[in-house]
Chains A and B, each alone.
Chain A
């Protein structure tokens, strides 16, 4: 029996492919702005959203989407208003999110296998309606990245210069934060809340070692994200593993490989 004969694998591959492409595309700008860990903080807020979904008997994914986006925008607001340094703002959201999640989960009596599926990802629980949500929001996310690409690059390269020349820094930063929140919320079914941030960061680190421009770094990172997800899901299927861990371990392996081969490629290009 082929892996694709199972309907749940087809939907997992389709959903995972979108996640594998979107996460590094958004993650690129977070990594370049040294905000790599924001994904973890938002992930924990998404956990609170999932728990709230169980408690209120609404869609956990929808509730996580709201919580993650609000948390991402909240971190940016705290950071830019100088109410807290970047890492302090992140810590506030991070710990508030996980604590709220634990309280809400225990209040809802939802400490069960479904919750673990959100934490670590699951092939079996992804549905075609999940895919539809990921497809719509993923397409919107990629379209926003494409539309704002030059502005996001300008801010990443030189925020002060971009501010002086009149680019709307606040709008771009909040949009990027919201994109991160949406990406995390729609990716958690496949990769899991605790590991999604890695899929936003590791492919970008790997691509940065072997690519030769910003554009090619983003494209290579999306490719690595896609390969990691497809290979990770396949491994998870045959070895009966949690997909999030398999995907992230593969992405980490590719990052190490890129770090090792980057200097060699660099010498070849230079010669």
Chain B
């Protein structure tokens, strides 16, 4: 079965800047739950951007779904939860409207929603337990509920790869634990591949199969239980 993600000797620097990543090798197989962690400024978000084809590596190769990452055709196969889970607009947007937005790429820009799309949106809303609130503007929900709405948006396209970029930023510990448990359940039920990018990964340590620590390159790649004790807090990584 082809890999979901494959990085081969990837190096990257932003124009005019120092090298952010060097010699990165990373394979992610279908159904894996991988946490990409590391200190702020260590390059994990850059690694994610290269992996998703949003940036081209200076050298090496990034492949996604067995195609060059920046030329993947069916990008709807990726469900993405952005770093800032706040709503990008000021107008009231209901939970259903937000979740439906996650289905547009799968359906196609010009094709109207059909029964299958409505079922997928219903299913995503139900999975995060927001059925009762689907007509409520997201702005009126609690922080945790808003995050669930955005996870439902990422799930509405029925993705094969779910990517979460710093999902716990600004979220309290209880909400982090709830998110970790929810992702564990999601991974168990759907066997969706999960890439969880965060400088804090305590909430998912119990559920993730691999932890990849990034600091300019990959300094650890293995099971969370094999992580050396002094690396458990990645903001204090020492090579």
Residues of A within 8 A of B (CB): 28, 31-33, 147-148, 150-151, 153-154, 156-168, 172, 204, 207-208, 211-217, 270
| Bound-state Cα–Cα, A168 to B75, Å | 11
B100 cross-chain contacts in A, Cβ below 8 A: 150
A211 cross-chain contacts in B, Cβ below 8 A: 91-92
Complex contact B105–A165 (CB within 8 A): yes
Q: What are 11 A-B pairs with beta-carbon distances under 8 A?
A: A32-B91, A151-B109, A153-B97, A165-B106, A166-B73, A213-B135, A214-B89, A214-B91, A214-B93, A215-B97, A217-B91
Complex contact B104–A150 (CB within 8 A): yes
B137 cross-chain contacts in A, Cβ below 8 A: 212-213
B135 cross-chain contacts in A, Cβ below 8 A: 212-213
Closest chain-A Cβ to B158's Cβ sits at a distance in Å of 12
Closest chain-A Cβ to B222's Cβ sits at a distance in Å of 27
Residues of B within 8 A of A (CB): 52, 54, 72-76, 78-82, 87-94, 97-98, 100-102, 104-107, 109-110, 113, 135, 137, 140, 150, 153-154, 157, 163
Output the nearest chain B residue to A208 by Cβ-Cβ distance.
Answer: B91
| Bound-state Cα–Cα, A212 to B97, Å | 11
| Bound-state Cα–Cα, A163 to B49, Å | 11
Partner of A158, one of B72, B78, B82, B107: B82
Contacts A150-B101, A151-B104, A213-B93; A157 near B88 (Cβ below 8 A)? yes
Closest chain-B Cβ to A4's Cβ sits at a distance in Å of 35
Complex contact A167–B104 (CB within 8 A): yes
Output the nearest chain B residue to A32 by Cβ-Cβ distance.
Answer: B89
- List 10 tightest A-B contacts by C-beta distance, closest first: A166-B75, A165-B105, A32-B89, A154-B101, A164-B80, A208-B91, A217-B91, A154-B104, A150-B104, A213-B94
| Bound-state Cα–Cα, A161 to B155, Å | 12
B101 cross-chain contacts in A, Cβ below 8 A: 150, 153-154, 157-158, 162
Output the nearest chain A residue to B79 by Cβ-Cβ distance.
Answer: A165
Output the nearest chain A residue to B138 by Cβ-Cβ distance.
Answer: A157
Q: Looking at A28, A157, A163, A215, which has the most chain B CB atoms within 10 Å of its CB?
A: A157
Contacts A160-B80, A164-B80; A208 near B90 (Cβ below 8 A)? yes
Closest chain-B Cβ to A263's Cβ sits at a distance in Å of 13
Contacts A148-B109, A151-B109, A213-B137; A165 near B91 (Cβ below 8 A)? no
B94 cross-chain contacts in A, Cβ below 8 A: 212-214
Complex contact A157–B87 (CB within 8 A): yes
| Bound-state Cα–Cα, A243 to B5, Å | 60
Complex contact B157–A164 (CB within 8 A): no
| Bound-state Cα–Cα, A159 to B104, Å | 13
Complex contact A166–B105 (CB within 8 A): yes
| Bound-state Cα–Cα, A31 to B88, Å | 11
Complex contact A167–B154 (CB within 8 A): no
Complex contact A32–B105 (CB within 8 A): no
